[in-house]
Structure 1
Amino acid sequence: MSLQNRIINHFTTSIQTQHDTLASLSELIEFASQRLVATLLNDKKIIACGNGRSAILAQLLSSAMLNQYERDRPSLPAIALTTDTTTITAIANDYHFDDIFAKQLRALGQNGDIMVAYTDGNNSANIAKAITTAHDKDITVIALTGNNGGMIAPLLNETDIEIRVPSNSSVHIQETQALITHCLCGLIDHQLFGG
């Protein structure tokens, strides 16, 4: 396959994944945005987490909430549990890597907060442990997953939301999750600030 054909293939597959997601998940994305807005209106916060490239998505959401998405507006409370390398490496060293999000969530999370967990569908034990901790603290979970939902989907309860990208390609799942994150940010801004 030529380089140009590889480029065309990547774009075409990504666009198809995004189209499939739009067709099957737009109402769920809208509902998730409403849950996030309700959390913020109740003076609670968004807590985000993910591993590897999914950590970037958690930070993208947190940054857009704390600073701005597309326009100047008041800051919104959000934390990415992926950013404090001193804390993450200390927890991983003193306890276990599976605890890096759960231990932070136990200290920082409050009843009524909402956790947004990003995974490409792989079995992320630290995300699973964070979901269990969230449930213990009465924190709702929005899980952005892919593939078959991995070990995450069965952990979710009836008050949680799973937005599962219909793909088994980690790259295309994460590309689409970035687009979903942008949708959520835009919908939050629209619901809270109009326009």
Structure 2
Amino acid sequence: MKEQFKELIAASIAVKTALLSNEELLDTLEKVVDVIVTAYQAEKRLFFCGNGGSAADAQHLAAEFTGRFYKDRLSLPAEALHCNTSYLTAVGNDYSFDDIYARMIKGTARIGDVLIGFSTSGNSTNIVKAFEAAKEKGVVTIGFTGASGGAMKKVTDYLLNVPSADTPRIQECHILLGHLMCQFVEERFFG
């Protein structure tokens, strides 16, 4: 078993090494930081969405903005859209699970807000539909996916597609990229 642990750790390192040399992705991450700082300067909000482990990552990163990352600072407006279980179950039951995020974006997001969606495949219908609704509202979209980008690739303003097809390795890199995003937004916005 120890050898298998080592193989999986090595696989994780290999994906991170691929990230390290992916200039296009790093350029996109830099643009994402700029977009979020600009949104916050204009008193806009961040919304996050995902499913399963990606929902956990979305909630984690929303908490980094509303709480703190490194600095003792004011809270920044960020919300993980799946945290209201009464809403989630009502819309999932009365409409469709595919509509849970799009419906909320249509009702609450405003032009200039930012929607950040997580899907390792890039094909989660509810995330794709949320991004389509965001486009209609003038909301900037940032997608965290795996290598192909999936269906999200066509509806995402800024795509951070981790160069892997292995869900756990993708999720590990999503949280790494998300932490970098939080750190540099915090540094830029609060000085």
Q: TM-score interval w.r.t. the shorter chain?
A: over 0.9
2:164 alignment partner in structure 1: 167
Q: CA deviation at 1:85?
A: 1.0
Q: Are 1:104 and 2:80 counterparts?
A: no
Counting aligned pairs with the same residue, the percent is 33
- Cα RMSD (Å) of the superposition? 1.0
Number of the residue aligned with 2:11 = 13
Partner of 2:80: 80
Give 3-state SS (helix, strand or coil) of 2:48's partner.
strand
User: Is contact 1:147–1:169 with CA below 8 Å preserved after alignment?
Assistant: no
From 175, 189, 193, the counterpart of 2:190:
193
1:83-102 alpha-carbon deviations (Å, 9 max, x no partner)? 11111111000000000101
- Whole-Å Cα distance in 2 between the matches of residues 22 and 88 of structure 1? 37
- Structure 2 segments unaligned to the other structure (5+ residues): none
CA distance in 2, matches of 1:137, 1:155: 13
Alignment partner, residue 182 of structure 1: 179
CA distance in 1: counterparts of 2:164 and 2:9, whole angstroms: 14
Aligned to 1:94: 94
Return the letter of the residue paired with 1:187: F
What TM-score, normalized to structure 1? 0.94
For residues 127-166 of structure 1, the C-alpha deviation after alignment (integer angstroms, 9 at most, x for no partner) is: 010011000100010101113111111223xxx1001000
Alpha-carbon distance in structure 2 between the residues aligned to 1:178 and 1:9: 21
Given that 2:144 and 2:159 are in contact with CA atoms closer than 8 Å, whether structure 1 keeps it comes out as: yes
Structure 2 counterparts to residues 1-195 of structure 1, below 5 A: 3-24=1-22, 25-156=25-156, 160-194=157-191
CA contact (8 A) 2:122 2:153 kept: no
TM-score of the aligned structures, taking structure 2 as reference length: 0.96
Asked if 1 retains the 8 angstrom alpha-carbon contact of 2:33 and 2:184, the reply is yes
Q: Which runs of 4 or more aligned residues in structure 1 lie more than 2 Å from their structure 2 counterparts after TM superposition?
A: none
SS of the equivalent of 1:44 reads coil
State the alpha-carbon separation in 1 of the partners of residues 116 and 168 from structure 2. Answer: 19
Alignment partner of 2:106: what SS?
Answer: helix
Alignment length (residue pairs): 189
Structure 1 residue 28: deviation in Å? 1.5
